[in-house]
Amino acid sequence: KNQVEQSPQSLIILEGKNCTLQCNYTVSPFSNLRWYKQDTGRGPVSLTIMTFSENTKSNGRYTATLDADTKQSSLHITASQLSDSASYICVVRKAAGNKLTFGGGTRVLVKP
């Protein structure tokens, strides 16, 4: 069964600190992996997209990594800000078709 598992479910960090979120997937065949940020009461917004051949992609203070061999991805947030408080969702696209599988998300709370 195609699955996307994220960890941790939630975390609290102090403003200015770094954190790393994990995403493990079993979706196959693989097309691409996206990380989305979802603010409370809003729809998800895309942060990064990575294909099979890419292993690192940055978007400002967000850096995503992908290991397609082990089917793992991570999202690193550098020098966190209060505005980083949100849910972060890992989404894997299956090759050949419109099938997306969403992870359950990691809820991040940044405290001053």
Partner 1 sequence: NAGVTQTPKFQVLKTGQSMTLQCAQDMNHNSMYWYRQDPGMGLRLIYYSASEGTTDKGEVPNGYNVSRLNKREFSLRLESAAPSQTSVYFCASEGTAFNYGYTFGSGTRLTVV
Contact set with partner 1 (CB under 8 A): 4, 9, 34, 41-46, 49, 89, 98, 100-105
Report the residue number, 5 or 15, with the smaller CB distance to partner 1: 5
Beta-bridge partner residues of 109: 12
Q: How far apart are CA 38 and CA 58, in angstroms?
A: 18
Residue listed under structure tokens 């599988």: 101
State the nearest-atom distance from the C-beta of 18 to partner 1, in Å: 25
Report the residue number, 25 or 84, with the smaller CB distance to partner 1: 25
State the nearest-atom distance from the C-beta of 89 to partner 1, in Å: 7
State the nearest-atom distance from the C-beta of 9 to partner 1, in Å: 8
State the nearest-atom distance from the C-beta of 44 to partner 1, in Å: 5
Q: How far apart are CA 47 and CA 64, in angstroms?
A: 9
Report the residue number, 29 or 41, with the smaller CB distance to partner 1: 41
Strands, E assignment, the chain: 4-7, 10-14, 19-25, 30-38, 45-51, 56-59, 62-67, 72-77, 86-94, 100-102, 106-111
Report the residue number, 49 or 68, with the smaller CB distance to partner 1: 49
